[in-house]
């Protein structure tokens, strides 16, 4: 009897739950399609309903190429998620990143905090950043780098070339990513911290840079860039307990020990006019100063190393550019380094060291985007939306850069004169733009100028060949070579 009473009730309850669920789903669909503040932004249905597709593409390293596919179908502005918009238009750089200081960074950046502390890069608070950036900014002035850092950069470039010569004479392969990281780390640390990390000390050409596991771990973790920071904390703790990594632990200990020595010396009055001393002098705590230095080590090693490694790899594949650089240095007009500058620009464009969208939050008044290509329709982007542009979409734009996947420094210069269009200069987005662009941009550029010039002078790449004819890049916040790819070179006997 009881079963006879309960069964109809259970059946009715189940039916009610199903009907209610379907009603709620239908209501949500209607809201997403017609009433959501971003319902007028072009994009596929599944992107309107959930952030999961965006999170998955970010994790898999396909976010930017997927965005490019969406732009090909929907136009210059597309919806990546319920509150995320991507724009494929260099004309939007100024309003998003430059004018009036640009929009504020999205909270996503806090996923790159270190030990719970914000860095100059990760903070979303302009005032917090201003105190720290103002303290260290003078170090990164081009004139100061060229005067105070010239000897350091040239010494590191000599070490870079010496390592290549050793590999050439020993007839063995050498990994350009590892070598480029060594140069970038020692050049940055020697100038910025006043003490080289020692990346070339006892280097034989076969071992891996001691800082590499540390850098690789942070690089790999950028696949979680869009994950809320509080979740990342639990995830990091879980992964650390389940998958202990002794190489990472040893590498981190070495990096931490090096940074501690820098801070200890600065506290005792040494290291005058260094990054760490300047931070301590404006009242930044020892703990945070160490974190800022550790962040600088990652930033000054990974992206510059990737860019330089890929650039040298391309020069090995196309030796006519090295010959052209050598001719410019020996027979060209005094002081005219136009091909050198073009080569570095093309290296920055093609390396895509930071390929993904740099998200910013639309301010309270909202923002109206009008396509710069003369589109008749404008799009109002409401306050609180995470909007951004990616280097991937700009650097691989066929209209601005014909044959965009081709490494071609000559697209920038002809007969010693720049032929770059306004759009080319505008859309070179390797360091971001505006007040939050890379603080060390000038140093990164000077490092490249010095070492590429030294390479051309040395002729060490004569006879070199790449081991892997093609490489595939993962589109995380920091680019990473896909599995199965390498940037090794060797010499013919």
Q: Output the CA torsion 163→167→168→173 (10° steps).
A: -130
HEC sequence for 271-322: CCCCHHHHHHHCCCCHHHHHHHHHHHHHHHHHHHHHHHHHHHHHHHHCCHHH
Distances from the Cα of 125 to the Cαs of 116, 360, 361, in angstroms? 15, 12, 12
Distances from the Cα of 190 to the Cαs of 102, 137, 150, in angstroms? 32, 17, 11
169: tokens are 């004479």
Q: Output the CA torsion 130→131→134→135 (10° steps).
A: -160
- In angstroms, the CA 325 to CA 338 distance is 9
47: tokens are 């992107």
156 is known to lie in a ligand binding site: no
**Nearest alpha-carbon partner for 440 in 100, 144, 92, 126:** 144
CA atoms within 13 A on the CB side of 361: 12
Which residues are paired to 487 by β-bridges?
none
- In angstroms, the CA 129 to CA 225 distance is 20
DSSP state of 357: B
- In angstroms, the CA 273 to CA 279 distance is 10
Contact status, residue 217 vs residue 245, Cβ threshold 8 Å: yes
- In angstroms, the CA 179 to CA 160 distance is 7
- In angstroms, the CA 136 to CA 273 distance is 9
Q: Residue 151: count other Cβ atoms within 10 Å of its Cβ.
A: 11
- To which H or E segment does residue 473 belong? strand 473-474
Q: Residue 229: count other Cβ atoms within 10 Å of its Cβ.
A: 16
Which residue ranges are tagged as binding site for heme? 438
Which residue ranges are tagged as binding site? 438
């Amino acid at each position: 009897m009881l079963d006879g009473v309960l069964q109809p009730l259970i059946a009715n309850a189940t039916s009610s739950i199903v009907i209610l669920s379907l009603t709620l789903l239908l209501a949500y669909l209607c809201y997403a399609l017609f009433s959501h503040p971003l319902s007028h932004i072009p994009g596929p249905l599944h992107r309107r309903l959930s952030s999961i597709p965006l999170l998955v593409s970010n994790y898999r390293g396909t976010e930017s190429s997927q965005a490019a596919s969406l732009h090909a179908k929907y136009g210059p502005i597309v919806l990546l998620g319920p509150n995320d918009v991507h724009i494929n238009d260099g004309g939007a750089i100024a309003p998003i990143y430059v004018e009036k200081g640009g929009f504020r960074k999205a909270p996503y950046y806090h996923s790159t905090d270190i030990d719970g502390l914000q860095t100059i890069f990760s903070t979303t608070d302009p005032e917090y950043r201003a105190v720290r950036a103002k303290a260290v900014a003078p170090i990164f002035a081009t004139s100061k780098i060229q005067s105070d850092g010239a000897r350091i950069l040239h010494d590191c470039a000599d070490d870079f070339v010496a390592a290549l010569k050793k590999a050439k004479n020993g007839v063995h392969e050498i990994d350009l990513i590892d070598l480029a990281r060594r140069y970038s780390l020692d050049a940055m640390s020697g100038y910025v911290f006043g003490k080289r990390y020692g990346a070339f000390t006892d280097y034989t050409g076969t071992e891996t840079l001691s800082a590499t596991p540390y850098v690789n771990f942070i690089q790999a973790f950028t696949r979680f860039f869009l994950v809320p920071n509080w979740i990342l904390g639990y995830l990091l703790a879980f992964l650390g307990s389940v998958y202990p990594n002794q190489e990472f632990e040893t590498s981190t200990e070495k990096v931490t020990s090096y940074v501690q020595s820098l801070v200890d010396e600065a506290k005792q009055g040494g290291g005058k006019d260094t990054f760490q001393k300047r931070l301590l002098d404006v009242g930044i705590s020892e703990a945070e100063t160490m974190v800022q230095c550790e962040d600088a080590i990652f930033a000054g090693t990974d992206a510059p190393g990737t860019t330089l490694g890929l650039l040298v790899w391309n020069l090995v594949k196309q030796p006519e550019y090295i010959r052209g650089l050598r001719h410019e240095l020996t027979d060209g007009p005094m002081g005219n380094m136009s091909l050198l500058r073009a080569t570095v620009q093309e290296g920055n464009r093609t390396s895509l060291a930071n390929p993904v969208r740099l998200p910013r939050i639309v301010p309270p008044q909202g923002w109206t985007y009008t396509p710069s290509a003369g589109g008749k329709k404008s799009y109002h982007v409401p306050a609180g939306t995470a909007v951004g542009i990616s280097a991937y979409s700009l650097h691989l734009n066929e209209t601005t850069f014909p044959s965009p996947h081709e490494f071609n420094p000559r697209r920038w210069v002809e007969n010693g004169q720049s032929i770059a269009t306004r759009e080319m200069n505008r859309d070179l987005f390797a360091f971001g733009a505006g007040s939050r662009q890379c603080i060390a941009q000038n140093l990164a550029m000077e490092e490249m100028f010095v070492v590429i010039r030294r390479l051309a002078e040395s002729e060490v790449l004569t006879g070199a060949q790449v081991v892997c004819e093609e490489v595939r890049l993962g589109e995380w916040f920091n680019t990473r070579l896909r599995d199965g790819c390498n940037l090794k070179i060797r010499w013919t006997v």
